[in-house]
Chains A and B, each alone.
Chain A
Amino acid sequence: QSALTQPRSVSGSPGQSVTISCTGTSSDVGGYNYVSWYQQHPGKAPKLMIYDVSERPSGVPDRFSGSKSGNTASLTISGLQAEDEADYYCSSYAGTYTHWVFGGGTKLTVL
């Protein structure tokens, strides 16, 4: 059982927006502004899409955005494209004992 809770799957049609939630506790998501999101296509390495809750690395389209409220972080993908179909994982720094925790992953299907 993963430390952070994500929906197992979400779906949307091309052009639509979807939001993936990531729920933790005050010891991880709620306690630090160090939530990151990773995209993983089958058989590929994870790719960093969002860090520090809402920052995008260079090269990541601005269709991807992140936010946080309390113990829940969210990844929103707007203007869905076929290539966005992938697994998405959230992660959070969790302090000097646990360090890093991941979510269980969410499979995004573009209909």
Chain B
Amino acid sequence: QITLKESGPTLVKPTQTLTLTCTFSGFSLSTSGVGVGWIRQPPGKALEWLALIYWNDGKRYSPPLQSRLAVTKDTSKNQVVLTMTNMDPVDTATYSCAHLSIGWSFDYWGQGTLVTVSS
């Protein structure tokens, strides 16, 4: 059974860097074809894809946010880490990690973690 869970701060100040960890089980990020993505959702708003990391350490980023994002993996710990620099109140959202399925869809999601950006 595949599960994912996000962890990190619930409150960050403007200009700070956000670091979120996705800890997963039920699959390995060393298996060919596997990927883990990050998606966020501002309160009451739509989903927005942020980043994805593949089993071979390939990384993809949302073009508008690319300069602020970085994603890394620790295969031995079954973890993926997302960092986002220069946080702004508009970045207030629930941040979720998800398992990339065949067919370029996300078939398993974490519960998400609400991050508020405020001074």
Contacts and interface: CB of A to CB of B under 8 A. Distances in A.
B49 A99 contact: yes
B14 interface: no
A38 B108 CA distance: 11
A28 B47 CA distance: 16
A97 B63 contact: yes
B31 interface: no
Contact of B106 (A32, A48, A97): A48
A99 B103 CA distance: 13
A18 B48 CA distance: 25
Interface residues of B, number: 21
A91 B63 contact: no
A105 interface: yes
Contact of B47 (A46, A52, A55): A46
Contact of B109 (A34, A46, A100): A46
Interface residues of A, number: 25
B86 interface: no
Contacts of A45: 96, 109-112
B107 interface: yes
A51 B109 contact: no
A17 B118 CA distance: 44
A89 interface: yes
Interface of A: 2, 32, 34, 36, 38, 45-48, 51-52, 55, 57, 89, 91, 93, 97-105
Interface of B: 37, 39, 46-49, 52, 60, 62-63, 96, 101, 103-107, 109-112
Given A45-B110, A47-B109, 4 more contacts: A46-B106, A51-B104, A89-B46, A104-B46
9 contacts: A36-B103, A36-B105, A45-B111, A46-B106, A51-B101, A51-B107, A91-B47, A98-B63, A102-B46
